[in-house]
Amino acid sequence: MFLKKPSRKEIPNIVLLVFGLQLVSCQSLGINPAANPSPQPTLRPIKIATATPDTKATLSAEMQISPSALSGTQITFWEPLTGNSGETMAQLVNEFNQTNPYGIFVTPTRFGSQGELASAIQSAEDLGQELPTVISASMDQVNLWNFEVAPVVDLAPYIHQPGIGFTESEITDFFPVFFNPDLTGVARLGIPAYRSGEVLFYNQTWAQELGFLKPPSSLSEFKEQACAAARVNAEDKKKANDGTGGWFIDTGWESAVSWLNSFGYNQFPVEVDATFSFSTPSSEDAFGFIRELSDLGCAWTGRQINPFEYFSTRQALFYSGSLEDIISQQKSNARLGSEDNWIPILYPNQSGQGGVLSDGLDYGIFAGDAKSQMAAWLFIKWMINSNQHARLAAADTTFPMSYSEVAVLSALGEQNPQWQQALGFISQAKVAPQVQDWWIIRQILEDAFWKSLQPNVKPEDIPIILRELDATIYEVLNQ
C-alpha cells in the first residue's frame, strides 16, 4: 500500500510551533482576534521547477545512445511502496532484471513511506553520497528535489524519440488526467507510476433503509443523509452507538483538499509564479460546513483511527478513504459479518457534479551519464506498460493508467464491484497540487483543518484560523 499520510513525526517542528503559538497567543492573552486581524500576507511565488539545460551535452548526443550498447549498465531505484503494492513492485523489478533484452540491471531500495524516502534523498545530498538513478515519488517532491537537490531529467525527448519512446497511439491511450499530452514549454520531470483517488465510502443498504434511494450528489443531500444516520443511532435502543452515524471525520490533507474542491476553492497553484491564499470565502464555507456537521452530531470521531469497523457496524454512513482502502473494507465486512452493499462515491459539491482528488507517485530520473539515463528510461517505459502496471493497480485496487490497461484488468472489475465503480471517476479526477512547497503546505493545512473542529474553537473563529494558516505558510516558507 502507498502510505499517503505522513505521521506527526514527519511534520517539521517549526510548522507546529509557529501555528500553535499564533493561535494560543490570541486565546491566552485575552486578545480579540477579530479586533486585531492577522495581516494578509502575499505569499512568496511558488515555482514549478523546470529542468536546467545541459550545455556540455546536446540533447541529440543523449539520444544517440543505442539500447544495444547498454549491456552491463547498472542503475539504482528508490521507491516508497509497502504492502501488496510494495511486493508487486519488487516482483516487477526482478522480472525486468531477468527478461530485459538490453542487459540492464536495476538495484531497488524500498522505503517505508514517502517521508523516509525524502529523508534518505536529503541525507545522500548532505553527505555527498550518490543519488539513485530512478526515483518514484509524488510530483511535488520530484519538483522540490530538482529545485534544491540535483537536476531531474526532462523526459519529453525520450517520450517522443522514435524507437525508444511512445508512438502517438500509445500516448493517446493514457488517460489525459494522468498523462497530459499537451505539456509544452515546461519540462516533463515525471511519468505516472501509481495513482490513487480520495473518495467517500457509502453504505447503500443502510441509506436505503433510511429512505434514500441514491447517493448524495449535492452538499445539502450529503448533510441530510449524514444527519438522518446520526439521528437513527441516537434514537435506537443501543447506548453504545449514541453519538455515531453520519460522516466519520477525517482531518487529513486529502480530505481537506477534497472538501475545499467541493466548495469551489480554486487557488491551488498550478503555474510558475502562481500565488494563493486559503483565506477565501469558499474556504470559509468548506471549513464551516464540516464544523456545522460536527456541531449537529452528523459527523464524529472515534477512538479507533481507522474507520473500517465503524463502517461495517453502521456507526458511519460515510467515511473518507482512498482506493487502497477497498480491500481493507471488504475484509472488515467479511470479518464482522456485514452483508450491506457499499460503494465508493464522489465528494458532493455545490453544482451536484462531484469530483475525486487524484494523488500518487511518478517516476523520475536524476541527471547522470547518457547510458544511465537511457537505461533508466527503458526501465520506466517497461514498468508503465499496461501489462506490467496492471499488476501494480490490481495489488491495491488503484487506478489504471490507460484504456488498454482497463481491458487487461477486466477480471478484476468482475470480481470487485467497488473498484469497478471507481473506474467511472477517472474523468472527474483532479490532480493534487504538484509545486515543490506542497509537501510542507499540506501539513500546515492539515493542522488548520483539525484546529477548526476543536471544541474550544467557535465557528466564527474559522476566518481567523484561515488567516493564521496563510500567515504560518508565509513564515515557514520564508524563514
CA atoms within 13 A on the CB side of 23: 25
Whether residues 264 and 339 fall in one domain? yes
Q: Is residue 108 part of a domain?
A: yes
| DSSP H or E stretch at residue 199 | strand 191-203
| % of the chain at pLDDT higher than 70 | 84
Q: Is residue 48 part of a domain?
A: no
Q: Is residue 428 part of a domain?
A: no
Q: Is residue 425 part of a domain?
A: no
144-157 tens-digit pLDDT = 999 899 999 999 99
Could you give the C-alpha distances from 272 to 48, 261, 473, in angstroms and in order?
A: 5, 21, 18
Whether residues 204 and 335 fall in one domain? yes
pLDDT exceeds 60 at position 432: yes
**Can you give the CATH number for the domain in which 461 is found?**
3.40.190.10
Q: Residue 419 phi/psi, 5° resolution?
A: -65, -40
Whether residues 310 and 325 fall in one domain? yes
| DSSP H or E stretch at residue 334 | helix 325-336
Q: Domain boundary residue among 392, 419, 446?
A: 419
pLDDT exceeds 90 at position 89: yes
Whether residues 346 and 364 fall in one domain? no
Query: Mapping DSSP to helix (H, G, I), strand (E, B) and coil, where does residue 280 land?
Result: coil
Whether residues 206 and 331 fall in one domain? yes
Q: Is residue 46 part of a domain?
A: no
3-state helix vs strand vs coil in the chain, percent to 5: 45, 15, 40
Query: Mapping DSSP to helix (H, G, I), strand (E, B) and coil, where does residue 478 land?
Result: coil
pLDDT exceeds 70 at position 375: yes
Predicted local distance difference test score (pLDDT) of residue 478: 82
Whether residues 316 and 457 fall in one domain? yes
For the ranges 29-33, 301-305, 336-340, the maximum mean pLDDT occurs at 336-340
314-371 tens-digit pLDDT = 999 999 999 999 999 999 999 999 999 999 999 998 876 778 999 999 999 999 999 9
Q: Is residue 19 part of a domain?
A: yes
Whether residues 163 and 77 fall in one domain? yes
**Where residue 241 falls among pLDDT bands split at 50, 70, 90?**
confident
Amino acid present at 196: S
More confident residue, 403 or 63: 403
pLDDT exceeds 50 at position 179: yes
Whether residues 290 and 307 fall in one domain? yes
More confident residue, 86 or 237: 86
pTM: 0.85
Whether residues 330 and 371 fall in one domain? no
pLDDT exceeds 90 at position 437: no
CA 430 to CA 433: how far, in whole Å?
Answer: 9
204-236 tens-digit pLDDT = 999 999 999 999 999 999 999 999 999 999 998
Q: Is residue 339 part of a domain?
A: yes
Amino acid present at 292: E
The number of distinct structural domains making up the chain is 2
pLDDT exceeds 80 at position 443: yes
Amino acid present at 329: Q
Q: Is residue 341 part of a domain?
A: yes
Residue 132's domain comprises 59-195+360-419
Q: Say which range, 120-124, 149-153, 168-172, 179-183, has the weakest mean pLDDT.
A: 179-183
Whether residues 152 and 295 fall in one domain? no
**Where residue 275 falls among pLDDT bands split at 50, 70, 90?**
low
**Where residue 268 falls among pLDDT bands split at 50, 70, 90?**
confident
Q: Domain boundary residue among 372, 392, 419?
A: 419
Whether residues 191 and 201 fall in one domain? no
Q: Taking residues 185-194, what's their average pLDDT? A: 86
CB 465 within 8 A of CB 286: no
Rounded mean pLDDT of the chain? 86
Whether residues 308 and 182 fall in one domain? no
Residues 6 or more apart whose CB falls under 8 angstroms from that of 97 comprise 104, 105, 106
Q: Taking residues 421-448, what's their average pLDDT? A: 91
Q: Taking residues 239-263, what's their average pLDDT? A: 94
Predicted local distance difference test score (pLDDT) of residue 479: 75
Q: Domain boundary residue among 419, 444, 461?
A: 419
